[in-house]
Amino acid sequence: MRPLLNIFAIITFVITVSATALCSPKASQAENYHHCWLDCQQNQALMLQQPYMTGPEVSILQLELFELGYYQGIIDGVYGPKTAQVVEDFQRAKNLEPTGVVDADTWNKLAEHLERPVSTENIPPPKGDLAIVVDVVNRTLTVMEDGEPYHQFHVAAGKPKTPSPVGTWHVTRKAKNWGTGFGTRWIGLNVNWGVYGIHGTNKPGSIGSYASHGCIRMHNHKVEQLYPWVEPNTPVYIVGNPFGVPGHTHRTLCRGERGSDVVVVQDYLKRHGYYQQEVDGIFGGGMEQAVLDFRADHNLPRDNQVDYEMYKAMKL
């Protein structure tokens, strides 16, 4: 038997702690669920406009420009005139057209100057049974060898609105330079409800944060180190709260939603005889009927959504 006891202990601990979170009475209405493919292939360009663009992408940009000695202001996540001017200065210095628009070429140039692999770091590949544990709470990826920690990397995980898929997966495919936004390496996972993987990034400043549409981001030189160690079918355990990242849990679910929270609700409904189909993380017609039946049996208002009151009734 493979000695994976420590991995299961980690998973049990994290999920046990996460499951104590109560449903928020201010759970927002469900939003369309995107996956990593959309995030990586359709990066939004940052530019000066009215109203000013804001958010974590702008903060990452400001942080990266600060690290390179260009930006001297407050990291406020606001793409105002000062940030636009600094972007133009950077573009001009790196022989890019000084448009002030942060497009893929600008992100790639930032990454090129930020990522400096440590040439003396020469970690031999693990020789035993390999598994990967991604802790989305602490944003770390731990390589396990024969059930013991071998090496750990810092990563970026999914944003609050698009959390990483908590669950037990395995590697399905590997690719080099798979496409814009994926960095230099792609390690795909068998997630039922979308295209997710472990990959590099052209935004190294995002590492250590909640920044992706669910994928696990690594520095390019780190994922290049991991890449040859991993083979198809390598187990990947993504652990955390299936209802979301800390401080952003329990969204209202309706038909069309996808995610780890849908898996938990489907599993509950199936164990209690309401849901008869596959537990696949996709809120379809069968789950919708199960929700209606459960709500009717528990004197909840007739609705096809999993809301705060239904979470309470299920003790989730």
Long-range CB contacts (within 8 A, 24+) of 67-75: 67/114, 67/205, 68/110, 68/113, 68/114
> Is 34 assigned a catalytic role?
no
Q: Where are the alpha helices (DSSP H) in the chain?
A: 5-18, 36-41, 56-67, 81-93, 104-114, 220-226, 260-271, 285-297, 308-314
> Is 215 assigned a catalytic role?
yes
Q: Which of 23, 35, 215, 219 is catalytic?
A: 215
- What's the rounded Cα separation, in Å, for the pair 223 and 51? 37
Q: Are 122 and 113 in contact (CB under 8 A)?
A: no
Contacts of 120 (CB under 8 A, 6+ apart): none
Where do the DSSP E strands lie in 130-209?
A: 130-135, 140-145, 148-154, 157-158, 167-176, 185-189, 197-199
Token pair for residue 56?
A: 């974590």
- What's the rounded Cα separation, in Å, for the pair 279 and 230? 27
Contacts of 112 (CB under 8 A, 6+ apart): none
Continuous segment of H or E residues that includes residue 53? strand 53-54
Q: Which of 23, 35, 36, 199 is catalytic?
A: 199
* Residue whose tokens read 């299961």: 8
- What's the rounded Cα separation, in Å, for the pair 159 and 67? 23
Reduced DSSP (H G I as helix, E B as strand, rest coil) percent helix, strand, coil of the chain, to 5:
30, 20, 50
Q: Are 205 and 270 in contact (CB under 8 A)?
A: no
User: Residues with catalytic annotation?
Assistant: 199, 215
